Amino acid sequence: MTTTPIRPPRHILVRLQRDWDRLARSRGAVQRAGRWNLLGLDHARTLTSLDDVLAQTGYGAMLTPANDAALADLVRLAATDQLAARVVLQRLLPGISSLARRRTHAGQSRHEVLDEVVASAWTVIRTYPIDRRSSYVAAGLLRDIDYQTFRRATRRLATFVPHPQHTFDLQAAPEPDP
């Protein structure tokens, strides 16, 4: 009897990059992206892969107002379009990796922290209030991902301490004279 050795699961960034490499050249995905009309450009004729959309959102380049506007348009679409959300996730992966590296402490697995950050990133991307926060979009998304993953659970929560109604009508006892 032979057994196949169980391979450990691949690192999330490796899996996401392999998925992106496949998706970026998918004819159907490129055609869908061509219909997005980011910044009023006719992508149907100019897109050869989803990497072109990434470049338009400022991936690997200096931030410009046009890149930021394209990313804002893409985040707006991401609320209802999974492909747009996946492009935004790919755009944010360098920042997500950096965030996980900064937030990993002694005794923690960087891979587990990264898994948590990516899961939070997906939720933040799909629910980001782009109409209220439409500038410096990548920075805003990363800030919200950091908050959602690491800070939200530790924030002070309001608690309700019930008091009998009649205690509000009682007068305080007088102070004793010294």
Q: What does the domain layout of the chain look like in residue ranges?
A: 12-149
Cα–Cα distance for residue pair 13/8, rounded to 1 Å: 14
String of b and e for 105-131 (b: at least 16 CB within 10 Å)? eeeeeebebbeebbebbbebbbebebe
The pLDDT of residue 1 is 56
Cα–Cα distance for residue pair 29/9, rounded to 1 Å: 26
The pLDDT of residue 9 is 62
Find out whether 16 and 119 touch, Cβ atoms under 8 Å: no
The pLDDT of residue 107 is 79
Within 57-159, residue ranges assigned H as helices are 65-78, 82-103, 110-127, 137-146
The pLDDT of residue 176 is 77
The arithmetic mean of pLDDT across residues 36-63, rounded, is: 79
The pLDDT of residue 108 is 81
The pLDDT of residue 39 is 63
User: How far is CA 1 from its chain centroid?
Assistant: 46
* Exposed / middle / buried, residue 41 (Cβ in 10 Å: 0-12, 13-18, 19+): middle
Residues 95-140 pLDDT 10s: 999 999 998 887 788 889 999 999 999 999 999 999 999 889 999 9
The pLDDT of residue 109 is 84
